[in-house]
Amino acid sequence: MNMTIRKETLRDQRAKMLAAAPDWRASDARVNPRVAIGSIVAMWLLYFLITTGLGILAGAEQWEYAGRRGIVVVAGILCTFVLYQLIQRVQPRGFGARLAVAMGAAIPLVIVYACINLLVFYYWLPLPDSAKIIADIHTKFPVAWEIVLILDSSIRWYFFFAVWAALYVAFGYANEMRAVERRANHFRIEAQTAQLRALHYQVNPHFLFNTLNSLSTLVLRGSKSEAETMIMNLSSFLRSSLAIDPEQLVSLDEEIALQRLYLDIEQVRFPDRLQVEVLVPKALENACVPVLILQPIIENALKYGVAPSKGRIAIRLTASSEHGLLVVRTENDIDPKAAVPASGTGLGLGNVRERLLTRYGPAAGCEWGPSDGGGFFVSLWLPLAREGC
């Protein structure tokens, strides 16, 4: 009952852990400085090349504009770099708020850029037709011509700045999603590892109670040598089962050796009733399996097959390869004359299935039920691999 409650609690905690949104960090939304600065330079350089190239194709006089345009392009790079610094330092959590900050921060910088553009083309290095342009503005608008030009340039250049700002925010959002995904995967792996460990460490307390009772019987009977052997086997089994990493893979041969330690202990309890048969092809002895995956299956066979019987009961373990899968089948006889023990909770075999699905997904599984010979079978399958054990 307590183990069932613990398992349900584990599932609830794992579900909450996976459902919870990973913590948000402003640094996740920042773009690599090399990428940001490179995009600024590339954008303005592309503008300079395209505008100058089109101007040259339109008329030779456009060469006069190239030097002036180079100056304002440098100013544009500096203004956009300042915009980059502002956006980088203000990182609201929401994507919409981040985009709004970027668009808002672009406004004063566009005005600064428009003022520099005015100074270069109309004060420092005036064009031949600058006077004509100023006269036309005076005719149309009864205000200072500088304000008109600044407003006109700001409106036209705002789109240019806004496109880069939106691009930066999009890059940052992509980085943020990748970081969130990495942390979510990390949490998922941690939850999976915790589940594997919990399933692995659910040692059947009845096994310990029965073993201690058997030891007590041996001591009272004066069977010192048998009791000493049983203690050594129990110590070796517990040391092996508790010290092994539950995520570890072992060869099928090693897994069977661990189970033989367990069966040697139970052999003392059922010296005349337990018979073990193992049939594993030589080619499959080095196949990889999760450590102690057979433990609940062997316990189940002893509890429902050997313990209630009056005669000899065989436990047969076989392995085969089918369609790229390793199939391990355990089958035990059932004494038809013995009392039928109360059905269990299915926790042990359910743990085997959970461990296989957690590690391998739908490529692995476990099934059980009555066998054709009147006994009980448990069959598990998993991808056949001989490396990484």
Pair 79, 35: CB distance under 8 Å: no
pLDDT at 8: 47
d(CA 326, CA 86) in angstroms, rounded, equals 59
Q: What is the Cα–Cα distance from 106 to 80, expressed in whole angstroms?
A: 8
Q: What are 194's two structure tokens? A: 């915790």
The length of the chain, given as a count of residues: 389
Cα torsion 215, 217, 220, 224 to 10°: value is: -40
Q: 3-class SS at 227? A: helix
Burial status of residue 37 (CB atoms within 10 A of its CB: 0-12, 13-18, 19 or more): middle
The H or E element spanning position 135 is helix 130-140
Query: What is residue 190's predicted lDDT score, i.e. its pLDDT?
Result: 64
Nearest to 203 by CA among 295, 302, 267, 300: 295
| Owner of token pair 């509890």 | 303
Give 328's strand partners.
319, 380
Domains of the chain and CATH, by start: 2-197 (no CATH), 203-383 (3.30.565.10)
- CB burial class (10 A; 0-12, 13-18, 19+) of residue 132? exposed
257: Cβ–Cβ under 8 A, 6 or more apart, which residues? Answer: none
Of the candidates 157, 70, 145, the residue with the CA atom closest to the CA atom of residue 109: 157
Cβ contact 145:130 at 8 Å = no
pTM above 0.85, yes or no: no
Per-residue pLDDT tens listing for the chain (389 residues) = 444 444 445 445 444 544 444 456 667 778 899 999 999 999 999 999 988 888 777 765 566 678 889 999 999 999 999 999 999 888 887 888 889 999 999 999 999 999 999 999 888 888 777 878 888 887 787 778 888 899 999 999 999 999 999 999 999 888 888 888 887 776 676 666 655 555 555 555 666 777 788 788 788 888 888 888 888 888 887 777 666 676 778 899 999 998 888 888 888 878 888 899 999 999 999 999 988 889 889 988 888 888 888 788 899 999 999 999 999 999 998 887 777 666 655 567 888 888 898 888 889 999 999 988 889 999 999 999 986 66
Residue 271 token pair: 């010296």
CA quadruple 83, 89, 95, 96: dihedral, nearest 10: -60
